[in-house]
Amino acid sequence: MSSNLYTGKEKKMRFAFELLASGIAVGALYGLMAMAFALTYKATGLLNFAQGELGMLIAYLAWSLSTALGSNTLALIAGTLVSSVFLGYVVERFIMRRMLGQPVFSAVLVTVGIGLIISSTVLLVWGGEPKEVIVPYAKDIISIGGVRMRQSQLAVVLVLLAALIATSLFFKYSRFGVAMRAVAIDQRTARLMGISPERVQAVAWVLSSFLAGLAGVFFAVTFELSPTLFGLGLKSFPATVVGGLDAVVGSGGSGIFIGVIENLVGGYGSTELKEVAGFLIILIILMVRPFGLFGETRVERV
C-alpha cells in the first residue's frame, strides 16, 4: 500500500515538473515576442500590433527557403535572419517613418492594418493548410532530471537567455543602446545631441522583427507552421504589459512567468481558463504596479 502511495506521489510530482518544463518552453516563445513588443515601444513609444503577423511571415519565408534547398537547417537560419532584417527595414522605412509626429492612435491603427495585410497575404500565397518545418533532431525527446521535453524546446529557452543577456549588455554598454535610451526619454533633446531618431527607430524595428521572427520559427519547428501562428503575438502581449512596456529584459523574463502560470492552470484547471490566464494576470499586476513589474513610472499609457 505504501509502495502504491509513493508511486502515486511520484507521478504527481513528475506531472508537475513536466508542466513546469513545458511552461518554461512556451514562456520562452512568449518572452522573445514580448521583447519585440517592448523594444519597439521603448524606441518609438508605439505598440506594434502586427508583431505576431511579422513573426508568422518571417517563419513562412524561412520555411520556403529551407524547403527549396531540401529542408536545410542553415537555410532556415539564414532565411530567418534575412527575412527579419528585410521586413523590419521595409515596414519602418516605407510605412512607419511616415507616421513620425502623427497621433499615436493613428500609428497604432496602421500597425493593425499591416497585420491584416500580412495575414491575407500568407493565406493567399501559402494557403491555410498546416506545414511541417523539418529540422533534424528538433522534435527528439530528451530527459533532464526525469523531465522530458523536445530539443527545440530546450533550444528556445537557451536562445531567450542569450537574448536577455545580449539585450541587457546592449542597453548598458553599447553607444547605440545608450542612444536608443536617449531617444526614448526625449527625442528632441536627443536630436540636439546629434542622435538621429529615424536611425534609432529603424534599428529598433529591425531588431524587434528579428526577435519576432525567432519566436515564429521556433514555434513552427516545435509545433507546426500555419496561419494561426499570428496568435502568438496576442498570447505574448500579457508578458509585455506585466514586465513593463519599456522594459525589454523584464518583458522577456515575464514571458516565462506567463507561460508557466498558463500551463499550470491548464494542467490543474481547464483549457478555457488557460486561454485567459495571461490577461487575468495583467489585471492583477496592473492594480498593484500600473507600469508593470519592471517598467518606469514615466511611461504614458494611451
Specify the pLDDT at position 297.
60
pTM score over 0.85: yes
- Mean pLDDT, the chain, rounded, equals 88
Specify the pLDDT at position 221.
94
**In a domain? residue 160:** yes
Of 211 and 199, more confident: 211
DSSP reduced 3-state for 150:
strand
Q: Summarize the confidence of residues 79-85 as an average pLDDT.
A: 94
CA distance 101 to 107: 9
Task: Give the residue numbers spanning the domain of 251.
Answer: 15-288
CA distance 213 to 53: 10
Give the rounded percent of residues in the chain with a pLDDT score beyond 90: 56
CA trace torsion 117, 120, 123, 128 (10° rounding): 120
CA distance 144 to 46: 40
Tens of pLDDT, residue by residue over 102-131, are: 888 899 999 999 999 999 999 999 999 999
Look up residue 9 and give its three cell numbers.
Answer: 506521489
| φ, ψ dihedrals at 301, nearest 5° | -95, 135
**In a domain? residue 231:** yes
Tens of pLDDT, residue by residue over 246-264, are: 899 999 999 999 999 999 9
Residue type, 76: L
Specify the pLDDT at position 83.
95
In the predicted model, is pLDDT for residue 9 greater than 60? yes
DSSP 229: G
In the predicted model, is pLDDT for residue 300 greater than 80? no
> Which of 249, 142, 223, 71 has its CA nearest to residue 232?
223
**In a domain? residue 219:** yes
**In a domain? residue 299:** no
Identify the band that residue 1 occupies on the pLDDT scale cut at 50, 70 and 90. Answer: very low
**In a domain? residue 173:** yes
Q: What is the CATH number of the domain that holds 261?
A: 1.10.3470
In the predicted model, is pLDDT for residue 269 greater than 60? yes
Quickly list H helices, the chain: 2-44, 51-68, 73-94, 104-126, 151-173, 175-185, 187-192, 197-222, 231-243, 248-268, 271-288
Specify the pLDDT at position 3.
46
Count of domains forming the chain: 1
In the predicted model, is pLDDT for residue 2 greater than 60? no
User: How many other CB atoms are there within 10 angstroms of residue 186's CB atom?
Assistant: 11
**In a domain? residue 146:** yes
**In a domain? residue 7:** no
**Ramachandran class of 70: left when φ > 0, alpha when ψ lies in -120 to 50, beta otherwise:** left
**In a domain? residue 224:** yes
